[in-house]
Structure 1
Amino acid sequence: MNFRKTLMALVAAVASASALADINIGVSLSLTGPGSGLGIPMQNQFKLFPKEIAGEKINLIVLDDASDPGKGVSNARRFVTEDKVDLIIGSCLTPVAAAMTPVATEAKTVQLAASPVGVPPGQDQWLFRLPQGNDVMAHAMVEHMKKQNVKTIGFLGYTDAYGELWLKALTPLAEKAGMKIVAAERFQRTDTSVTPQALKLVSANPDAMVVVASGSGAAMPQMALVERGYKGKVYQTHAAATQDLMRIGGKAVEGTFVTSGPAVVGSQLPDSHPSKKLAIDFYTNYEKAFGPPNQFAGHSYDAAIALQKAIPIAKAKAKPGTPEFRAALRDAFETMGRTVFAHGVMNWTKDDHWGYTNETGVMLKVVDGKFVVEK
C-alpha cells in the first residue's frame, strides 16, 4: 500500500513538473464591441500560432475584453492569479491595454501590448509594444505631407489616450516641418456622429485632415468630413489600416493616405526591404486560412517571432511557470537585439520598449478600394 502511494505521488510529481514546463500565455482581445474588427483578425492569427517553442508546449488562453477597459483589467487579473501565465498579450485597443498594464506590472509579468500604449516614464518596465509608436508613424505621415506641400492641418481624433498621444506626437513634428494645426476636434469611440466637429473643421479649411480612430470606427468621421464638403487630403493612422476602412467608408475614403506597418503590403515592398519575406509569409498564410488580413493580425504573427527568439534565452536561466522565468523573459526581450518582424525591424532595449525606428512607417493610399504603397 505504501509502495502504491509512493508510486502515485511520483506520478503526480512528474505530471506537475510537466505542467509547470508548459508556457501559458494569456491573450486579451476585443472580440466584441467597437474593437472587434481588430481583435478577431488577431484571434484568427493566433489559431496559426506555434504549438511548441524551444521544446515547450504553448498554451494560449484567449479571452474577450469586449472593447472595455474594465473587462480587460478583469482578464489580466484572472491571467496572473488563476492561470499563472508567463506572459500577457493584449489588448488591441489602447485604452484597454493601458488599463491592463498596472495589473501586469504588479504581477511582474511581461505584457506584449497589441496597441500603441503610452504610460508615464518609468512605468513600462514590464510593457513592450508590438505596434509602432505614434512618434514613428507620425514621422512617416509628416514626411509624406511635406511632399504634398501641406501647410495647414485639421485634427479629428478620439478623446482617449490614443487620440491624445497622436496629437502630442504630431504637433511638434508638424511645427518643425513648417506646418500648423489650425483646428483640433475630439470625439468618443462610442459616438455615432461627429457633425458639430466636422462643421468646425471644414470651416477652417485646412490643406489636410488627420483622422485618429481605429478599425471600423475610422470611416465614420471621414465620411462626415466628406459629407460636409471637405475636398482636401485626408490622413488616417495605423489603427485604421484595415479593410473595414474601405468596407464602411466606400467612395468617401478613396484617395485617403494611411500610415501603416509593412505587414499588409509585403508584395508591394522593394526586395531590399528587410520585412518583405516575413510580410509575404504572414499575408499568404493568413489569407489562405481566413481571407485578407489586417495589420493587427500581423502583431499576432510578430509575437510568435519575438517569443521564438526570447524563450530559449529565458529558458536557459529559469523554468517556465516561475517568477524567475517571467523576469528572464523580460530581460530576453531587452537583450535579444535586432529582430526582423513582418511589421518592421524591432530592437527593444532596457531603455526603449517601443523599439521601431523612423524608417518603419509605410504610407499607403486607398485606390479602387485597396491599399497601395505610396512610392
Structure 2
Amino acid sequence: MTSKKVISALLLSSSLLTPLANADIKIGVVSSTTGPIALVGIPQKNTIPLLPTSAGGEKITYISLDDGSDPTATVKAFKKLIDEEHVDAIIGPSGSGNAMGVIQFAAESGTPMLAPVGTAAVVLPMTKQKKWVFKTTQNDDLIAKALVEQMKATGIKTIGLIGTADPYGENWAKVMKDLTQKADIQIVANEQFQRQDTSMTGQGLKILMANPDAVLIAAPGSSSVMPQTTLKDQGYSGKIYQTHGAALDPFLRLGGKAVEGTILAASSMLVLDEVPDSPSKEIATKYIADYKKLYGETPATFGGNVLDAGLLLENAIPSALKSGKPGSAEFRSALRDALEKTKEMPATQGVYNMTAENHSGFDERGRVLITVKDGKWTLLK
C-alpha cells in the first residue's frame, strides 16, 4: 500500500470514529400522554425539558415516545429506542403493567431502565433481568408501613381492599396481607377492577357488606377516584386510605367532597410548605417553580419521578464515561453499575441509596403522611 493510500485509510478511519467519540448521550423517554394512564404520563412528558442537558462534559439528547397507555405500544417504543435509536438508557414507561412487559428487552440489550412506576415488582424480587431496572418511586412496602402504622395507632381492626387488576394493585394486596397480619388487622374484603371500568357498584356493595373499619384503595392516577366516590355514594362512612398512586391534584378536583379526609403516604412534594428545609425540599421547590413557569400549573409527583431519573443519570454518567463512550455496550454497562452505587443523592422524592439488592433506595425520608382537608393536601399531624 502506498503512503498516500495509508494516509487516506487513516483519515477515513478517523472520520468514522469521530462521530462515536463526539456522540451525544441518548436517553429514551416512554410516557403515557394519552389513554387511561394519561394523568400520570402527561406531567412525566412535560418534565423532559427540565431534565439535565449535559453530564460529564457530554451533551444529553432525549427521545420521547408516547405509548398511549397500551402495553403493546410500550414494547414497540422500547424496541425502537433500543434497536433503531441505540439509546444509552430509557426513562419510563408510566404504567406498572407496561413496565413489567418490557424489562426483558432492557435486560437483553443491556440498557438501563429507570422506571417511574408504582409497583415494586419491577425491582423485587431481584433477578438477572431486573438488575437493569431502577425505580424512582417509593416501594409499596415503604408507603404501606406508614399507612398500617397509622391504622393501628387509630384503632383500625378491619379493612377492605380495592385495587386495580394489574401488577400495581396485585402487589399492594400482597404487601398489605403481610403487614396487616403483623399488626393484627384483618382484611375482610379484597376487590379488584380494571382501570377502564365505568362502574364500581358491585365491588362497592361487597365492601359495604363486609363493613370494614377502613378501606384502602390501591390504584394509580385517575383510576383511584371512582372507587372512593362510589363508596361515598353508597353510604360508606369509615376511613378511606389511598396509596401514593393518588398523589396528584386532579384527584382532588375529580373527587371533590368525596375525597375529603382521605389519608395517604407519599413524597413531601404535595406539602412542601409544611415540611422542614432539606436538600430534597430545595430540589422539589425549584422543580415546581420551573414547571409552573413552563406550563402554568403545579406538576404531579409523577413528574418528579422523571426528574429524579434524570438526576440519577446525571450523577452516574461521569463515572460511566471512564469505561466507555456513549452508544457503546461498555458505557451502558458502566452506567448500570454507577446507578447501583448511588449514595445519599437527594432529589424531589427523597434521598437515594442504591445497592445491588435495592434498586429503589428510599428510606423514611422519602415519605410523609398526608390528608385532604378543605379540598387541599395537608400534612397529617
TM-score under structure 2 length normalisation: 0.93
Instruction: State the partner residue of 1:58.
Output: 60
Runs of 4+ in 1 over 6 A off after TM superposition: 1-8
Q: After superposition, where does 1:262-273 map in structure 2 within 5 Å?
A: 262-271=268-277, 273=278
Say yes or no: does 1:328 pair with 2:334: yes
Instruction: State the partner residue of 1:145.
Output: 151
Extract unaligned runs of 5+ from structure 1. none
Counterpart Cα distance in 1 of 2:365 and 2:178: 18
Counterpart Cα distance in 1 of 2:331 and 2:187: 47
SS of alignment partner, residue 192 of structure 2? strand
Instruction: State the partner residue of 2:343.
Output: 337
**Aligned CA distance change for structure 1 residues 65 and 357 (closer, same or farther; 3 Å):** same
**Aligned CA distance change for structure 1 residues 29 and 311 (closer, same or farther; 3 Å):** same
8 Å CA contact 1:266–1:277 kept in 2: the answer is no
8 Å CA contact 1:255–1:367 kept in 2: the answer is yes
Counterpart Cα distance in 1 of 2:249 and 2:272: 16
Equivalent of 1:169 in 172, 175, 188 = 175
Counterpart Cα distance in 2 of 1:280 and 1:43: 19
8 Å CA contact 1:344–1:360 kept in 2: the answer is yes
Instruction: State the partner residue of 2:118.
Output: 116
Cα offset, 1:10, TM superposition: 7.1
Instruction: State the partner residue of 1:283.
Output: 288
1:95-118 Cα offsets, whole Å, 9 max, x none, are 011111111011111100010341
SS of alignment partner, residue 361 of structure 2? coil
8 Å CA contact 2:180–2:186 kept in 1: the answer is yes
Q: After superposition, where does 1:94-243 map in structure 2 within 5 Å?
A: 94-117=96-119, 118-119=121-122, 121-122=126-127, 123-243=129-249
Amino acid in the other structure paired with 1:16:
P
Equivalent of 2:356 in 336, 340, 350 = 350
Counterpart Cα distance in 2 of 1:363 and 1:287: 25
Counterpart Cα distance in 1 of 2:178 and 2:20: 54
CA RMSD across the alignment: 2.0
8 Å CA contact 1:267–1:276 kept in 2: the answer is no
1:125-158 Cα offsets, whole Å, 9 max, x none, are 1011011100111011112212322111110001
Instruction: State the partner residue of 1:16.
Output: 19
1:149-186 Cα offsets, whole Å, 9 max, x none, are 21111100011110010011111111211211111111
Counterpart Cα distance in 1 of 2:126 and 2:281: 33
**Aligned CA distance change for structure 1 residues 306 and 218 (closer, same or farther; 3 Å):** same
Cα offset, 1:274, TM superposition: 4.9
Cα offset, 1:361, TM superposition: 2.1
**Aligned CA distance change for structure 1 residues 212 and 310 (closer, same or farther; 3 Å):** same
Say yes or no: does 1:366 pair with 2:368: no
SS of alignment partner, residue 275 of structure 1? helix
Counterpart Cα distance in 1 of 2:97 and 2:202: 25
Q: Larger deviation: 119-128 or 26-35?
A: 119-128
Cα offset, 1:4, TM superposition: 12
Counterpart Cα distance in 2 of 1:369 and 1:23: 43
Instruction: State the partner residue of 1:249.
Output: 255
8 Å CA contact 2:165–2:193 kept in 1: the answer is yes
8 Å CA contact 1:364–1:373 kept in 2: the answer is yes
**Aligned CA distance change for structure 1 residues 196 and 149 (closer, same or farther; 3 Å):** same
Cα offset, 1:279, TM superposition: 2.0
Amino acid in the other structure paired with 2:298:
P
Counterpart Cα distance in 2 of 1:24 and 1:276: 29
1:308-353 Cα offsets, whole Å, 9 max, x none, are 2100111122111100000000100111322112111111111211
Cα offset, 1:354, TM superposition: 2.0
1:246-272 Cα offsets, whole Å, 9 max, x none, are 11111111111122112332222123x
1:1-36 Cα offsets, whole Å, 9 max, x none, are 9899779847843652355x3111111100100111
SS of alignment partner, residue 195 of structure 2? coil
Counterpart Cα distance in 1 of 2:20 and 2:265: 47
Counterpart Cα distance in 2 of 1:207 and 1:103: 44
8 Å CA contact 1:38–1:92 kept in 2: the answer is yes
Equivalent of 1:74 in 73, 76, 89 = 76
Counterpart Cα distance in 2 of 1:364 and 1:207: 19
Counterpart Cα distance in 2 of 1:250 and 1:2: 77
Amino acid in the other structure paired with 1:64:
D
